[in-house]
Amino acid sequence: MAYEGSDGLQVGLADGVLRFTLDRPKRRNAMNDEMVLALIAALEHAQTDEAVRCIRIGANGDDFCSGFDLGTRTDGDRRPRVGSIQRRLPVLTHRLIPLMLDTQVPIVCAARGWVAGLGLHVALASDFCVAATDARLWEPFMQRGFTPDSGGTWLLPRLVGVARAKELLMLAREISGADAAAWGLIHRAVAPADLEATADELVEALAHGPTVALGLTKWLVHRGSSGSIDEHLADEAFAMEVSSRSEDFREGIAAMGEKRDPNFSGR
29-49 pLDDT, tens digit each: 999 999 999 999 999 999 999
| CA quadruple 13, 15, 17, 21: dihedral sign | negative
Domain containing 198: what range?
9-207
Q: What is the mean pLDDT of residues 75-87?
A: 58
Residue 108 has pLDDT above 60, yes or no: yes
The CATH number of whichever domain residue 90 belongs to comes to 3.90.226.10
Taking only the tens place, the pLDDT of each residue in 2-36 is: 899 999 999 999 999 999 999 999 999 999 999 99
pLDDT band at 89 (very low <50, low <70, confident <90, very high): low
Asked if 106 and 201 sit in the same domain, the reply is yes
Distances (CA, A) of 5 to 42, 56, 92, 124, 210: 8, 14, 16, 22, 28
pLDDT band at 94 (very low <50, low <70, confident <90, very high): confident
Going by C-alpha positions, the residue among 216, 205, 204 that lies closest to residue 246 is 216
Number of domains in the chain: 2
Residues 6+ apart with CB under 8 A from 190: 130, 131, 132, 133, 198
Asked if 223 and 164 sit in the same domain, the reply is no
Of the given ranges (67-76, 170-179, 198-207), which has the lowest mean pLDDT? Answer: 67-76
Residue 90 confidence (pLDDT): 56
Residue 200 confidence (pLDDT): 98
Asked if 234 and 120 sit in the same domain, the reply is no
Residue 93 confidence (pLDDT): 83
CB 22 within 8 A of CB 74: no
Asked if 154 and 138 sit in the same domain, the reply is yes
Residue 163 has pLDDT above 70, yes or no: yes
Report if residue 3 sits inside a domain. Answer: no
**Rounded CA gap, 10 and 3, in Å?**
10
Burial 37-55 (b: 16+ CB within 10 A, else e): bbbbbbbebbeeeeebbbb
Residue 75 has pLDDT above 60, yes or no: no
Residue 103 confidence (pLDDT): 96
CB 136 within 8 A of CB 186: no
Q: What is the mean pLDDT of residues 72-94?
A: 61
Report if residue 173 sits inside a domain. Answer: yes
Report if residue 2 sits inside a domain. Answer: no
**Rounded CA gap, 42 and 247, in Å?**
26
Phi first, then psi: give them for residue 56, nearest 5 degrees.
Answer: -120, 130
Asked if 77 and 142 sit in the same domain, the reply is yes
